[in-house]
Structure formats: structure tokens, C-alpha cells
Amino acid sequence: MLGRLSSSSCKWTLAKCCLVVLCLLGFFLMYYKPDFNFRPSTIHTASLLPCSKGNSTTAPNKNYTSGNHHITWTGYNHTNTIQLRDAYMEPQVLILIWWWPFGYKFNIKGCQLTDDRTLYNKAHAVIIHHNNINRGLTNMPTEPRPRFQKWVWFNMESPANSALIPKLNDLFNLTTTYRLDSDIPVPYGYLAPVESEDKGFELPVKDKLVCWVVSNWNSQFKRVQFYNELKQHISIETYGRAFSHTLNDQEYSKLISSCKFYLSFENSKSRDYITEKLYNPMTMGTVPVVLGPPRTNYEDHIPGHSFIHVDDFSSPKELAERLLYLDQNPDEYTSYFNWRQRFKVKRSYFGQDHAQRSCNYLQMRRDRQTVHDLNKWYWG
């Protein structure tokens, strides 16, 4: 009898303990609110997050068929910048513009942008335009750099047109240039998908065969040497200061649209250095004939059948023969615009896009990094 009472007592005590634990757990779950902060994991971040120096940022989907041409294109992806910024934001990011690039002022969204140098110690980033840096760095910030602050090296000129300054190594934390392997890439232009509200593409009326607008003339430039040979085999309409025939913006747009081909000749050959000389004629319905980095590099930016590369021909004479052939074969000529069924050209805004994407980057990342050998990376 005593044994049965003792067993019952133990069971009752255990039941009371379990009841107390359950009550405490219920109160805990009722009032406890876990503070988890998940960053988005489903958004493609190639256009914002840093790439290893030496590898281009590319889009994962590169194949589409247009007309009779199957175009393989591994292209720069810019479509998710705004989505990424809205998905995860660090507030109160202050960016100091050390110099307005070429005096051009602008504003951005999502961060505070200032040129007030008295706010240096509060700035999360300082954007420094390479063109303004003197060789001795005497016009750079002299106060100690706050631990949280990042210096952003900003340059849109090619290595051939940028002064190499040895003391830049181990000085900057981030790079923003036209190169796709920059920490914050801002190419001169890019392609974006056509949207339902966009007007369909119509080929402009053409009354000129080949055109070229150029101001910076140097007989040592590869583009000048190539032009001097090419003009012996095909008629070229020439404009710009180099030919004492300047154009205003309206005249320029009208001219480019009226040409079947435009000589998109860069002043130097450098990786990813593909400027408005390409994107302007693409926007205006003209086939660009390009001279610059290799074809494969152009195809990092635009579809392979949207342009003609001088390197595809053994001589300027052979190129001229191809252009004359296309002039007489309209179906083949118009195939160079098949990409317009899927894409449209977007131009980057100098300075403003660099600051905006720097803002986006800083809202996403606060980790510390240093560009150890800027000169080797950029100038090689």
C-alpha cells in the first residue's frame, strides 16, 4: 500500500513539473520576437558585387535566336540594380565627392551626397576622380582615414589616356570604372530587355554609306592609320573638328541615323574600353564598324551580330568589299538589327551612375578591403 502511494505521488509531482515547463514555454513563445536579418538570396548580384580582378562580369543566359541568326551573347547584366538596392538597405550612407568630375554636378537616390569636405570624418565613402589627382598626391585628403570609410577610385579614361601615379597602390578600397572587373562597374552603355511600352524599332532612311565623326586626330593612332587605308577603297563621309566640320547634337543624331555604317573607332585599345562611339550608332539605327579591343571583349557587352569588327578582315580593302556587299544585299544588312527585337540600348550617366552604384554597393557591403596593386591591374 505504501509503495502504491509513493508511486502515485511521484507521478503527480512529475505531472506538475511538466505543466509548469509547458506554461513557461508558452509565455516565452508568446512574447519572444526573434531578431533575424536575412539578406536576399534569390537576387542576382553580378552587377553590384565585386568581381575578382581579371574576370569579366557576365550574364548567365547567353543564347537566343533572332531571324536566321542564332546569336550567342554573354553580356553585362545591369537589370537588377534597383531591385537589389530596395531589397536590403543600410540607411544614412554619406558619400563625399572630393572633386566634381570635370565640374559636372549631380545628385543620387538612397544616400546623402556632398562636396562639403568638413564632413570628411563622417563620410562612409570618398569618391576620387583620377583625372584630378596630382602626381605627389598633395591635393588628396590629408586627415587620417576613419576605419569605416572607403576611398573609391573613379576613372573612365583608358590606360593610354590616364597618367600612371605610382603612389596609388594600397591607397584605395574600391574601384569604379568602365571595366567589368571593377568593384563597381559602370560601362559607357549596356543593353536592357525591351519592355512592352517601348516603341518598336524602325530602320531609319539611309542615304549615306559610311560615316565618321572625329575630333581627336593623331597620325600615330591606329584608327587614323586604318582610316587612311580604308578610304582608298570606299567612300567615307567625314565630320568633326579633325575635318573642320563640327556638328551640334541635332545634326549629329540626324547624320548618324542616315548612315548605313559608322566607324566606331576607339582612340586606344584597352580591355572593356568601349565608349559612346559604339552605343550612339547602335541607338540611332546604324551598324557600328568597330576598332578597339578584340571581338570577344565586345561580345561581353553586345551580341556578336550587332556589329562588324575590323579584325575579322585581313585588310581594310577586304572590309570595304564586305560593306559594299552588304549595301547591295538588304536582307543581310538588316540582319544586323535583329537584336533590336529583344534589347534596347541604355547609356550610363557620367559621374552620377558611379555615385549611385557606389551608394548601392555601400548599402549592401560594409566589409573592409584594399586595392593592393591598382597600377598593375589597370595599366598592366
H-helix segments, 177-315: 222-230, 249-258, 276-283, 295-298
Confidence band, pLDDT 50/70/90 cuts, at residue 292: very high
CB-CB contact of 191 with 75 (8 Å): yes
- Residues 219 and 329 reside in one and the same domain: yes
pTM confidence score:
0.79
Is 344 exposed, middle or buried (CB count within 10 Å of its CB: 0-12, 13-18, 19+)?
middle
Question: How far apart (Å, rounded) are the C-alpha atoms in residues 220 and 25?
Answer: 81
Percentage of the chain exceeding pLDDT 90: 73
pLDDT at residue 62, as a whole number = 37
Residue 158 has a pLDDT of: 97
Both 174 and 243 in one domain: the answer is no
- Shared domain for 367 and 339, answered yes or no, is no
pLDDT of the residue at 49: 34
Q: How far apart are CA 275 and CA 281, in angstroms?
A: 11
Mean predicted confidence (pLDDT) in 103-125: 97
For residue 176, the tally of other CB atoms under 10 A from its CB is: 23
CB atoms within 10 A of CB 368: 9
pLDDT at 302 over 60: yes
Domain range for 264? 191-347
Look at residue 15 and tell me if it is in a domain: no
CA separation (Å) from 286 to 215, 261, 344, 366?
Answer: 20, 6, 13, 43
Distance of CA 309 to the CA centre of its chain: 22
What is the average per-residue pLDDT within 79-97? 61
Q: Which of 190, 181, 127 is nearest to 155 (CA)?
A: 127
Instruction: Note the helical H segments in the chain.
Output: 2-31, 81-87, 222-230, 249-258, 276-283, 295-298, 316-328, 330-334, 352-364, 374-379
Q: How far apart are CA 208 and CA 237, in angstroms?
A: 8
pLDDT-derived band at 92 (thresholds 50, 70, 90) equals confident
In a domain, 325, yes or no: yes
Do residues 181 and 249 both lie within one domain?
no
pLDDT band at 367 (very low <50, low <70, confident <90, very high): confident
What pairs with residue 95 in β-bridges?
113, 125
Domain count, the chain: 2
Q: What is the pLDDT of residues 209-261, one digit of tens each?
A: 999 999 989 988 999 999 999 999 999 999 999 999 999 999 999 999 999 99
Order of strands across the sheet that contains 237-239: 237-239, 208-213, 259-265, 287-291, 308-309
**Domain shared by 198 and 261, yes or no:** yes
Same domain for 307 and 218: yes
Q: What is the pLDDT of residues 253-286, one digit of tens each?
A: 999 999 999 999 999 999 999 999 999 999 999 9
Choice among 57-66, 141-150, 252-261, 326-335 with the minimum mean pLDDT: 57-66
Catalytic residue among 90, 157, 229, 318: 157
Residue 46, in any domain of the structure: no
Average pLDDT over residues 176-199: 96
Does position 114 have pLDDT exceeding 70, yes or no? yes
Same domain, 289 and 157: no
Least confident range from 30-39, 232-241, 318-327, 341-350: namely 30-39
Q: Rounded to an integer, what distance in angstroms lies between the CA atom of residue 207 and that of residue 149?
A: 55
User: Can you count the helices (H) and strands (E) in the chain?
Assistant: 10, 14
Average pLDDT taken over every residue of the chain? 84
Q: Is residue 30 part of a domain?
A: no
- pLDDT of 329 above 90: yes
Given this model, what pLDDT does residue 77 score? 63
Residue 269 shares a structural domain with residue 315: yes
Indicate whether 110 pLDDT > 50.
yes
Q: Classify burial at 177, counting beta carbons within 10 Å of its beta carbon; exposed 0-12, middle 13-18, buried 19 or more.
A: buried
Cell of 255: 547624320
29 in a domain, yes or no? no
C-alpha cell at 14: 512529475
Buried b / exposed e across 306-329, counting CB within 10 Å, b at 16+?
bbbbbeeeeebeebbeebeebbee
CATH of the domain at 217: 3.40.50.11660
Task: Find where cell 534596347 sits.
Answer: 344
| 8-state DSSP, 38 | P
Shared domain for 275 and 214, answered yes or no, is yes
Q: Is residue 167 part of a domain?
A: yes
Residue with cell 565613402: 125
Strand-pairing partners, residue 87, are none
> Within this chain, do residues 211 and 321 fall inside the same structural domain, yes or no?
yes
Higher-pLDDT residue of 72 and 87 is 72
Q: What are phi and psi of 241, to 5 degrees?
A: -60, -35
Does one domain contain both 208 and 308? yes
**Quick one: 115 and 207 in the same domain?**
no
The answer for residues whose C-beta is within 8 angstroms of residue 203's C-beta and 6 or more apart is: 285, 334, 337
CB 183 within 8 A of CB 54: no
Check if 157 is active-site: yes
Burial class (CB in 10 A: 0-12, 13-18, 19+), 166: exposed
On whether residue 19 sits in a domain, the answer given is no
Per-residue pLDDT, averaged over 314-328, amounts to: 98
Does 135 map to a domain?
yes
* Lookup: cell for 174: 574600391
Q: Residue 268 corresponds to which cell in the numbers above?
A: 586606344
Pick from 311, 283, 316: nearest CA to 299: 311
Reported as a single tens digit per residue, the pLDDT across 12-71 is 555 555 555 555 555 444 444 333 232 232 222 233 333 334 333 333 333 333 344 444
* pLDDT class of 366 with cuts at 50, 70, 90: confident
Q: What pLDDT does 13 receive?
A: 56
What percent helix, strand, coil does the chain show, rounded to 5? 35, 15, 45
